[in-house]
Amino acid sequence: MPTPKIVIVADWLTNLGGAERTLAAIHEAFPDAPIFTSVYAPTKELAELFVGADIRTTWIQKFPKFLRRLHKWFPVVRVWAFRSLDLSEYDIILASTIAESKHVKKSRPGQVLISYCYTPVRYYWSHYNEYRHDPGFGKMNWAVRLLIPIFMPSQRKLDYKAAQNVDVFVAISTEVQKRIKKYYGKPSTIIHPPVDVDRFTPARVRGDYYVALGRQVPYKRIDLAVVAATKLGIPLRVYGNGTQHQHLVDAAGPTVQFFTDRFGDASDTAVADALNHAKGFIFPTEEDFGIVQVEALAAGAPVIAYSKGGVMDIIQDRESGVLFHRQNVDAVVDAIKKAEHIDFLPGTLRRKAKRFDKSLFITKIRKIVADTQPNRK
């Protein structure tokens, strides 16, 4: 049987985050595969991560720069762009998707579409009410709130239809596997996202501070970490930026310090160093998976986390961290107090992170692709 031609498709490549790092690992598994994406903004970090990759874009890339920056406002435009791609020369289409890249068309018999799914689109399905309350567009939230109920029914139909065209779904966590079944009616296999564990070197002597890291938007609930640390009078280093930044600064006491994160001026090295020495990592949000939790474990920092979503695949209560079950300040305070009385060993935490190592991810994603080949015609 001839070697199948593989193509990778991604929603967009405009900033560096967990999905982009996972995409890079997928490309590492299949280095000869080109990457098609709706729009590409080659920042220094992205250019370094995808050095040597054959990245191709849709016609959205031809838009003026200011319009390309607004592409997330217009999901239906990305649907049209992905459906216009001619991928007929490829045998296997591997879509790394949280949004529209699964809308690509299979154009001949025997072609296989695999979706590595970070979640069914959150603002259509599982988190619709939260996004309608605060869409995350800052001063333009009022306009988006008006548009959401008008366009949502048709967008859901398009998204569901695209999901039915997928041959193999791969979920990033147990939580996402449940959502794929609930909203798309499709089975899936779980392959957790990869973490480069070797980026971290746990310090034997830990600092006296905790770390909170992430985009400072409402659903991340970084405010819970800030207020809890202020209430307890403990040192907290906050890495991130976003629409809630000033709100967080205003709520913070003197023991809370703010730093720009990996998407801003702070380097990955600075963030890794902070985690390597941290007393613990506070994760108060419900995430689809939460790569940064694994990074914290790899750095030897126990994780204090809200017990919902992807965290349940990562953290074992009182073994690799402390879980709290209510998303409020008092619950975070109680969890921190509990963690203070548990002797977490950095080496043990790092070993727990190893089960998410990038090398295992590459092996598993290659097997998924290999297992589709007998079905080719």
Residue position matching structure tokens 């729009």: 39
Please tell me the predicted confidence (pLDDT) of residue 241. 84
Domains of the chain: 6-194+357-375 (3.40.50), 197-355 (3.40.50.2000)
> In sequence order, which ranges of the chain are alpha helices (DSSP H)?
18-29, 44-49, 65-68, 75-83, 128-133, 141-164, 174-179, 222-232, 245-251, 268-277, 291-298, 329-340, 346-353, 358-372
Three-state SS at 199:
helix
- Residue 195, sorted as left (phi over 0), alpha (psi -120 to 50) or beta, turns out to be beta
Per the CB < 8 A criterion, the answer to whether 126 and 120 are in contact is yes
Cα separations in angstroms, 128 against 60, 101, 175, 335: 26, 20, 16, 29
- Tokens 């603002």 sit on residue: 123
Residue (of 235, 100, 124, 219) closest to 179 by Cα position: 124
What's the rounded Cα separation, in Å, for the pair 223 and 215? 11
C-beta pairs of 47-56 under 8 Å, 24+ apart in sequence: 49/16, 49/20, 49/21, 49/24, 50/13, 50/24, 53/27, 55/13
Sheet holding 280-283, edge to edge: 256-259, 236-239, 210-213, 280-283, 303-306, 321-324
3-state helix, strand, coil in the chain (%, to 5): 45, 15, 40
Tens of pLDDT, residue by residue over 258-314, are: 987 444 556 678 889 999 999 999 999 999 999 999 999 999 999 999 999 999 999
Q: Quick one: which H or E segment has residue 112? A: strand 112-117
Torsion-angle region of 136 (φ positive above 0: left; ψ -120 to 50: alpha; else: beta):
left
DSSP letter string, 161-197: HHHHT-SEEEESSHHHHHHIIIII----EE-PPPB-G
The pLDDT value given to residue 324: 98
By the 8 A CB rule, do 243 and 350 touch? no
Structure tokens at 297: 């474990």
Whole-number Å distance between alpha carbons of 135 and 281: 27
Residues of the chain with confidence (pLDDT) below 70: 1, 128, 135-137, 261-267, 374-377
Cα–Cα dist 297/352, whole Å? 7
319 touches 298 (CB < 8 A): no
CB count within 10 Å of CB 374 equals 7
Q: What angle is formed at CA 167 by the lines to CA 6 and CA 374, rounded to 5 degrees?
A: 65
Query: What pLDDT is stored for residue 216 in this prediction?
Result: 85
Distance between CA atoms of 33 and 54, rounded to whole angstroms? Answer: 8
- Please report the pLDDT score of residue 166 as a whole number: 97
pLDDT of residue 377: 44
- What is the predicted pLDDT for the residue at 266? 61
225-240 residue pLDDT tens: 999 999 999 999 999 8
